[in-house]
Amino acid sequence: MATNLTHFEIFGLAPAYELDRGALAARYRELQREFHPDKYASKSEREQLLAIQMAAQINEAHTVLRDPVQRAAYLLKLAGVEVPPEQTTADTEFLMQQMLLRERLEEVREQPDPATALEELAAEVQSLFRGEQKQFAEAYSAGKLVEAEESLRKQQFLIKLQRQVEELEADLFGDY
CATH architecture of 7-66: Orthogonal Bundle (1.10)
pTM for the whole thing?
0.86
| Distance in angstroms between the alpha carbons of the first and the last residue of the chain | 42
**What pLDDT does 151 receive?**
95
For residues 28 and 11, give the distance between their C-alpha atoms in angstroms, rounded to a whole number: 7
- Taking only the tens of pLDDT, the chain with its 176 residues reads 556 889 999 999 999 999 999 999 999 999 998 988 788 888 888 888 888 889 899 999 999 999 999 999 999 999 999 887 777 788 899 999 999 999 999 999 999 999 999 999 999 999 999 999 999 999 999 999 999 999 999 999 999 999 999 999 999 888 65
pLDDT at residue 1, as a whole number: 55
What's the CA gap between 77 and 68, in Å, rounded?
Answer: 14
* pLDDT confidence of residue 4: 82
Q: For residue 107, what pLDDT is reported? A: 95
CA distance 135 to 140: 8
> Where do you find CATH 1.10.287.110 in the chain?
7-66
C-beta separation of 140 from 148 below 8 A: yes
Query: From the CB of residue 72, how many other CB atoms can be counted at a distance below 10 Å?
Result: 24
Residue 50 is predicted with a pLDDT of 87
For 92-173, CATH number out of 1.20.1280.20, 1.10.8.50, 3.40.50.300, 3.40.50.10190 equals 1.20.1280.20
Cβ count within 10 A of residue 108: 20
Give the model's pLDDT for residue 3: 61
Contact assessment for residue 166 and residue 107, using Cβ atoms and an 8 Å cutoff: no
Contact 65, 11 (CB under 8 A): yes
**Residue 116 burial class via C-beta count within 10 angstroms: exposed 0-12, middle 13-18, buried 19 and up:** exposed
pLDDT in tens, 42-86: 888 888 888 888 989 999 999 999 999 999 999 999 999 988 777
pLDDT attached to residue 42: 85
Q: Where in the chain is the domain with CATH 1.20.1280.20?
A: 92-173
